[in-house]
Amino acid sequence: MNNKEAEREGEKLNTLKIKWQRLIADGKTCPRCGSTEEEIERAVSILRQSLAPLGIDVTLEKGELSVEEFEKNPLESNKILINDHPLEEWVSGTVGQSPCCTVCGPSECRTVTAEGQIYETIPAELIVKAGLIAASELINTEKSESCCGNNASKTPKNNCCPK
């Protein structure tokens, strides 16, 4: 059943919310954030395909930081939140910083360290991993029940289990 069918059937969809923000100065962003945007688009597509059969919808919200906001806290740029938690929390990573480019000026921009690697551009694979970990918390295992019920020796529901 796809998400539209689930909505029509009255099932409540869970939502994996991904929010990404980056500096926009004079309509431009830095190469690091530009590359992350491509990676996040790819990751969201993969997550949507993977999670739709589980009744989980994936949303992406893109935010813009002004130059003034960026100057106050450059580590807010290129930040990805998944269900209101930073990506690095989902993958046991840490935040760092490194010099960037002319768009960012003299500020050092956000990096993420995970699995022993420092990332300036956040790769789709890391975003997908964090998304899947977050999505696992959306699945309500108490509601899930085998088609055979809690006791496989009982008569199967919908004739799905072998007798």
Per-residue pLDDT tens for 129-151? Answer: 999 999 999 986 545 455 555 55
Q: pLDDT band for 68, please (50, 70, 90 cuts).
A: very high
SS3 88: helix
pLDDT-based confidence at 159, cuts 50/70/90?
low
For the entire predicted model, the pTM comes to 0.79
Please choose, from the candidates 69, 68, 120, 72, the residue with its C-alpha nearest in 3D space to the C-alpha of residue 96.
120
Domains in the chain, number: 1
Question: Which residues are within 8 A (CB) of 109 and not within 5 positions of it... i.e. 6 or more apart?
Answer: 30, 32, 74, 75, 77, 78, 97, 98, 99, 100, 120
Q: Which of 89-102 are b and which e, b meaning 16 or more Cβ less than 10 Å from the residue's Cβ?
A: ebbebeebeeebee
CB 36 within 8 Å of CB 60: no
Q: Mean pLDDT across the stretch 64-92?
A: 95
Range of the domain at 34: 3-159
- By CB atoms closer than 10 A (0-12, 13-18, 19+), residue 132 is middle
